[in-house]
Amino acid sequence: MRLNARGANRLDASAVRSQSKAYAWYAFMRGFRSSSRAPDMELLLIRHAPTFGNLEKRYIGRTDEPIVQPPPVPIPSYPQVERVYISPMLRCRQTARLLFRNCEPFVLDGLRECDFGVFEGKNYAQLCADSQYRAWIAGELDAPPDGESTPAFRFRCCEAFENAVCMSLRDNIARAAFVAHGGTLMAILERYANAREAQGFYAWQAAPLCGWAAKTTPDAWRREQALFDIQPIGG
C-alpha cells in the first residue's frame, strides 16, 4: 500500500493483482481466526454527488468531472464510519470529504466507473440514432466502441470490493463506507446480495448521494461472500 500525492491511502490495480487470490484469502482467514470479535459489519455503499454531466444525463465514466458546488440535492447525514473506500475520480474524492471529513479514504482504482468509449460525455438524445449505441443498450455488444466491456468492468469492481471487505473484516471494522459510482455499486450489489435479496443489475440504481446499507459477517463472507439486510439510504 502506498500514499498518493493527496495523502490518501491508495490500493491500485497493480497492487491488488500482485497478491494472489489464495494469499489474500489465507490472510483474511488467518486474521479472522485470531480475532475474538465477530459481529455484523455494516457497509454503506454511496453514489457520489452529482456533476453537471450527471444533471444533463450524460455518460460520465473516465471524464474526471468535479461535483456541482453546492450540491443541488440534499446532503444526507450518514453515521460516522471507521474506514472509507473510494474511486480515484475527483467526484468521489470530493463526496468523501463532504460526507466523511474526518476519515482519510483508501483509494481503490477498481471502483472506477465504466469507460464508455465513444459514448463518453453524450446523452441518449445524442446517441439514440446510433446503431452501435442501440446494439449496446440492447445487450448485443459487450462494450461500447473503444470502451470497456461489461464483464471486465464488473470483474474489476467486484475484485476491488472483495479485497476491501476482506481487509475490513481482518481489521475488525464495524462500519465502512464505499463512495463510488452508480454503475460500480450496481455491479457490486448484483454480485453480492444474498439469494433472498438478489436482484438484477438495474434494480440497484441509486440517486446521487444516496445508496444502500448492507451487512456481512466473517462467517457469511467466508461461506458465500454474501451481503444481507440491504436497505436504501439517503433518500
DSSP 193: B
Mean pLDDT of 93-114: 98
pLDDT recorded at residue 36: 47
Could you give the domains of the chain? 8-116+149-233 (3.40.50.1240)
pLDDT recorded at residue 235: 84
pLDDT recorded at residue 9: 54
| Residue among 154, 145, 166 nearest 200 (CA) | 154
Mean pLDDT score across all residues of the chain: 89
Over pLDDT 70: what percentage of the chain?
84
Cβ proximity of 104 and 7 under 8 Å: yes
| Banded model confidence at residue 90, pLDDT cuts 50, 70, 90 | very high
pLDDT recorded at residue 205: 98
| Residue among 195, 194, 199 nearest 214 (CA) | 194
Mean pLDDT of 229-234: 98
pLDDT recorded at residue 12: 46
pLDDT recorded at residue 38: 60
pLDDT recorded at residue 173: 97
Model confidence at 27: pLDDT above 80: no
pLDDT recorded at residue 17: 44
Model confidence at 2: pLDDT above 70: no
| Residue among 157, 155, 183 nearest 60 (CA) | 183
Model confidence at 19: pLDDT above 80: no
Distance separating alpha carbons of residues 157 and 199, to the nearest angstrom: 17
Distance separating alpha carbons of residues 221 and 225, to the nearest angstrom: 4
Instruction: Kindly report, residue by residue over 34-84, the tens digit of the pLDDT.
Output: 444 568 999 999 999 999 999 999 999 999 999 999 999 999 999 999 999
* Residue 176 host element (H or E): strand 175-180
Instruction: Count the helix, strand and coil residues of the chain and give each as a percent rounded to the nearest 5.
Output: 40, 15, 45
Look up the pTM and report it: 0.86
Residue with cell 473510494: 86
| Banded model confidence at residue 11, pLDDT cuts 50, 70, 90 | low
Supply 191's cell numbers. Answer: 454480485
Instruction: Kindly report, residue by residue over 156-207, the tens digit of the pLDDT.
Output: 999 999 999 999 999 999 999 999 999 999 999 999 999 999 999 999 999 9
Cβ proximity of 212 and 178 under 8 Å: no
